[in-house]
Amino acid sequence: MRFWDTSAVVPLLVREPESTTVGACLRADSAVIVWWATRTECLSALARRAREGVIEERVAARARERLAALAAEWSEVVPSEAVRSRAERLLTVHALRAADALQLGAALLWSRGDTGAHTFVGLDERLRGAARREGFVVLPACGAPS
């Protein structure tokens, strides 16, 4: 089981340069755990792409269907004081935005502190760096474009 950041889920939904790489990560281990807000963040990313004309509405509709199917199978870390306290600590030691700190806080709670034995899948470089410094194995291993 791997923890997936939203930045790595979106390329599973719509064709992006990273789609092949994250698709391989999913095929290698299809047991996915995410932060509670990941579905909402994905919907936001899809709506923004459609509004900006990056994708057509029919593509966005298919992506929302894929998201629903993925979300039906994944596990979620739900909001809690434990996630919030981890996120607040992360904000003091890493250059993260609040939403990214909550993502990583959820991953820390899920790992039960044994980060070296757990994998974090993400494409956002700042979040990848923080996850790596927290001890997670970070995928994709080759890194993500800047």
Tokens 């629903």 locate to 68
pTM: 0.94
State pLDDT tens for residues 6-53. Answer: 999 999 999 999 999 999 999 999 999 999 999 999 999 999 999 999
> What is the average per-residue pLDDT within 128-141?
97
Q: Would you list the domain boundaries of the chain?
A: 2-139
pLDDT top residue among 143 and 41: 41
Name 39's bridge partners: none
Q: Under CATH, which number does the domain 2-139 receive? A: 3.40.50.1010
State pLDDT tens for residues 43-62. Answer: 999 999 999 999 999 999 99
Torsion of CA 31, 99, 7, 52, to 10 degrees: 140
Provide the token pair at 64: 């929302």
Interacting residues of 96 by C-beta distance below 8 A, sequence separation 6+:
90, 104, 126, 127, 130
